[in-house]
């Protein structure tokens, strides 16, 4: 009912609207206002207002006010919302190339990840959703995802066996948990705290700030930093909205996004360190397992893509960038 009411409000204002010549961009996402991504979006709005000399502004609806990530994408597709932020894991259902980010242990480190995101490979992946009316504008850092559990410390892949692990609506995430013998269970982010409390799932996997800000550490007392995947957050515009902009407005918007990406990465590094400090202070046991065992357990996932020429070639391009990176 809340989502329907919010949608009716948006329809009244007809998406990208405004008084006079000012354009107001409606942006919704599922994170809290304390998250680095939300703060970056606020900065993006400020930058856009300056770049456009007040001709464009951003109005943000955080904390799933307008629905889950998937629901926000659907609102973009019908033109009832202008922009949103989704995990690349959710976006892969609309842009198949995004599934490459969910392949376990594909990126060797942060430098390798950013080299991919900021280069031609990353840009080609951003464009993959346009045929589904979704225009990628940029990537926000979402760190590396790791397992957290209620009762079973995960020190080796076999510890996942038999556990119900919450995952996003991502085929690659499900394949990863199955490869370790676990039972992947898709649950929306907003319902996860209660699901953990009630034992619907035994654990989940996410990055440190999300684990901390969601307060999931109140339920899950083991956090195993295996850092299996590095799924960036993706800033998406609906093509209904994006194509309504003139070339100058598109340039202003892209520049504001690019500046916010730099700012968000700085905030992310700070929030990641803070999150680990705070959850440990709250009684969470932080584990740092031998990653090689996890790599070995999931390496068959890459081979499973060999029949998909597009994705397999993309995987090889990403690996080649790591080989050429300065060490």
Q: Tell me the per-residue pLDDT of 141-173, one tens digit each, with 9 for 90 and over.
A: 999 999 999 999 999 999 999 999 999 888 889
**Stretch 78-82: mean pLDDT:** 97
**Are residues 203 and 306 located together in one domain of the fold?**
yes
Flag whether pLDDT at 325 surpasses 50. no
Q: With respect to residue 17, please indicate whether it lies within any of the assigned structural domains.
A: yes
**Are residues 196 and 222 located together in one domain of the fold?**
yes
**Are residues 79 and 212 located together in one domain of the fold?**
no
- Residue by residue, DSSP assigns 254-314 as HHHHHHHHHHHHHHHHHHHHHHHHHHHHTTPEEE---HHHHHHHHTHHHHTTTT-HHHHHH
Q: With respect to residue 50, please indicate whether it lies within any of the assigned structural domains.
A: yes
Query: Strand 145-149 vs strand 285-287: parallel, antiparallel, or unpaired?
Result: unpaired
**Stretch 244-250: mean pLDDT:** 98
**Are residues 210 and 300 located together in one domain of the fold?**
yes
Dist. CA 169–CA 162, nearest whole Å = 20
Please report the pLDDT score of residue 12 as a whole number: 44
Whole-model pTM: value is 0.85
Q: What percent of the chain has pLDDT over 90?
A: 84
How many domains does the chain contain in total?
2
* Residue 13's pLDDT band (cuts 50, 70, 90): very low
Q: With respect to residue 287, please indicate whether it lies within any of the assigned structural domains.
A: yes
Q: With respect to residue 191, please indicate whether it lies within any of the assigned structural domains.
A: yes
Q: With respect to residue 197, please indicate whether it lies within any of the assigned structural domains.
A: yes
**Are residues 198 and 257 located together in one domain of the fold?**
no
**Are residues 294 and 152 located together in one domain of the fold?**
yes
Assess contact for 49 and 264: CB atoms under 8 A: no
Q: With respect to residue 106, please indicate whether it lies within any of the assigned structural domains.
A: no
**Are residues 72 and 214 located together in one domain of the fold?**
no
What is the residue range of 12's domain?
2-92+128-141+231-274
- Residue by residue, DSSP assigns 151-167 as S---SSGGGGTT-EEEE
**Stretch 266-286: mean pLDDT:** 97
Q: What is the largest CA-CA distance in the chain?
A: 61
Query: Strand 222-229 vs strand 145-149: parallel, antiparallel, or unpaired?
Result: antiparallel
Flag whether pLDDT at 6 surpasses 80. no
Flag whether pLDDT at 95 surpasses 90. yes
Q: With respect to residue 114, please indicate whether it lies within any of the assigned structural domains.
A: no
Flag whether pLDDT at 286 surpasses 70. yes
Q: Residue 209: in which H helix or E strand, if any? A: helix 208-213
**Are residues 162 and 35 located together in one domain of the fold?**
no
Q: With respect to residue 66, please indicate whether it lies within any of the assigned structural domains.
A: yes
Please report the pLDDT score of residue 190 as a whole number: 86
b (16+ CB within 10 A) / e for 179-204: bbebbbbebbbeebeebbeeeebbbb
- Where do the H-state alpha helices sit in 26-180? 36-51, 69-77, 88-91, 110-118, 120-126, 171-179
* CATH number of the domain within which 71 lies: 3.40.190.170
Flag whether pLDDT at 88 surpasses 70. yes
Dist. CA 219–CA 103, nearest whole Å = 28
**Are residues 84 and 150 located together in one domain of the fold?**
no
* Residue 209's pLDDT band (cuts 50, 70, 90): very high
Assess contact for 235 and 91: CB atoms under 8 A: no
Please report the pLDDT score of residue 323 as a whole number: 63
**Are residues 137 and 189 located together in one domain of the fold?**
no
**Are residues 155 and 291 located together in one domain of the fold?**
yes
**Are residues 162 and 132 located together in one domain of the fold?**
no
């Amino acid at each position: 009912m809340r989502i329907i009411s919010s949608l009716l409000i948006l329809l009244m204002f007809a998406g990208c609207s405004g008084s006079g010549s000012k354009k107001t961009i409606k942006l919704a996402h599922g994170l809290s206002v304390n998250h680095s991504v939300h703060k970056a979006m606020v900065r993006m709005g400020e930058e856009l207002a300056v770049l456009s000399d007040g001709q464009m502004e951003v109005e943000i609806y955080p904390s799933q006010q307008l629905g889950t990530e998937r629901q926000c994408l659907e609102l973009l597709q019908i033109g009832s919302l202008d922009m949103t932020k989704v995990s690349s894991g959710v976006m892969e259902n609309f842009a198949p190339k995004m599934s490459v980010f969910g392949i376990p242990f594909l990126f060797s480190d942060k430098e390798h990840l950013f080299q991919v995101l900021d280069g031609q490979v990353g840009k080609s992946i951003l464009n993959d959703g346009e045929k589904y009316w979704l225009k990628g504008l940029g990537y926000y850092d979402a760190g590396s995802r790791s397992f957290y559990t209620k009762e079973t410390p995960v020190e080796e892949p076999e510890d996942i066996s038999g556990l119900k692990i919450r995952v996003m609506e991502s085929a690659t995430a499900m394949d990863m948990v199955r490869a370790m013998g676990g039972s992947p269970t898709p649950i929306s982010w907003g319902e996860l705290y209660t699901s953990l409390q009630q034992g619907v799932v035994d654990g989940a996997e996410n990055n440190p700030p999300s684990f901390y800000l969601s307060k999931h550490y109140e339920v899950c007392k083991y956090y195993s930093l295996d850092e299996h995947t590095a799924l960036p957050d993706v800033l998406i515009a609906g093509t209904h909205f994006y194509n309504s902009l003139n070339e100058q407005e598109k340039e202003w918007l892209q520049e504001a996004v690019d500046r916010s990406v730099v700012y968000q990465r700085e905030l992310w590094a700070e929030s990641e360190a803070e999150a680990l400090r705070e959850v440990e202070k709250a009684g969470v046991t932080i584990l740092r397992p031998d990653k090689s065992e996890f790599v070995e357990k999931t390496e068959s996932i890459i081979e499973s893509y060999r029949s998909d020429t597009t994705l397999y070639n993309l995987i090889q391009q990403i690996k080649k960038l790591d080989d050429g990176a300065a060490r």
